[in-house]
Amino acid sequence: EVVMTQSPATLSVSPGEGATLSCRASQSVSSYLAWYQQRPGQAPRLLIYGASTRATGIPARFSGSGSGTDFSLTINSLQPEDFAVYYCQQYSKWPKTFGQGTKVEIK
Amino acid sequence: EVQLVESGGGLVKPGGSLRLSCEGSGFTFSSYSMNWVRQAPGKGLEWISYITSTGSTTYYADSVKGRFTISRDNAKKSLYLQMNSLRDEDSGVYYCARDYVAFRHFDYWGQGTVVTVSS
């Protein structure tokens, strides 16, 4: 199975600052990579798919990049509602696997 | 508006069974493949099962293979997960999630239903 490794585990950021989250796959997943946001007590929400395409209704401050094995999610000017856990997921190969998550917390 | 609503969670003893349901609305349920994803308390997300739009093909994670069965009733716009031989490690929140298109990412998720396996 494809192992997804996210870093860092926790990112402390001040509101208004930017943040970059990383996700690495144990083998190439091409661009079959999605990012999800999960706020406390809520279901995950799709942010990015195809490594770089924003889902419907997702603000432009969220952007994704990468292909193959290395991916990143960048959040510009963090808003209060952006403090959450972010998961990457590959859907290139079965089983579809998630990273362990990066928690973005208020500094 | 697309909505997925799970139900059926609860407290069950190890070795017991439970059947989860997920009702879809706001979209043509029969056109979409569906998934179950779970999250153990304080842990990350784990995909556990997939079913095609017609129900003809199913996939399972190794952790649940042989114990869980995914099914659907398109007339009732409902997805199911029959869980047998439950273990402590099956405890968590169970989400149903819709495939954007078959074999791709999940574009909509339900709010989840809580399963607790404990004696």
- For residue B55, give every residue at least 6 positions away whose Cβ sits within 8 Å of its Cβ, in sequence order, or none: B71, B72, B74
Please tell me the predicted confidence (pLDDT) of residue B102.
79
Contacts of B106 in chain A (CB under 8 A): 34, 36, 44, 46, 89
CA distance B51 to chain A (A): 13
Please tell me the predicted confidence (pLDDT) of residue A34.
98
d(CA A46, CA A41): 16
- pLDDT, tens only, A16-71: 999 999 999 999 999 999 999 999 999 999 999 999 999 999 999 999 999 999 99
- For residue B103, give every residue at least 6 positions away whose Cβ sits within 8 Å of its Cβ, in sequence order, or none: A91, B33
Name the CA dihedral angle for B62, A92, A25, A82, rounded to a multiple of 10 degrees. Answer: -100
- Whether pLDDT at B101 is above 90: no
Contact yes or no for B109 and A87 at CB 8 A: no
Contacts of B59 in chain A (CB under 8 A): 94-95
What is the rounded average pLDDT for all residues in chain B?
A: 97
Over residues B84-96, mean pLDDT? 98
- pLDDT, tens only, B12-51: 999 999 999 999 999 999 999 999 999 999 999 999 999 9
Instruction: Tally A–B CB contacts below 8 A.
Output: 55
Q: Given A87, A91, A96, which is nearest B44 (Cβ)?
A: A87
pLDDT band (50, 70, 90) for residue B103: confident
Please tell me the predicted confidence (pLDDT) of residue B31.
96
d(CA B14, CA B21): 20
Contacts of B111 in chain A (CB under 8 A): 42-43
Find, in chain B, the residue whose alpha carbon is nearest to that of A93: B103
If we measure between CA atoms, which residue out of B82, B47, B41, B71 comes closest to residue B61? B47
Over residues B64-81, mean pLDDT? 98
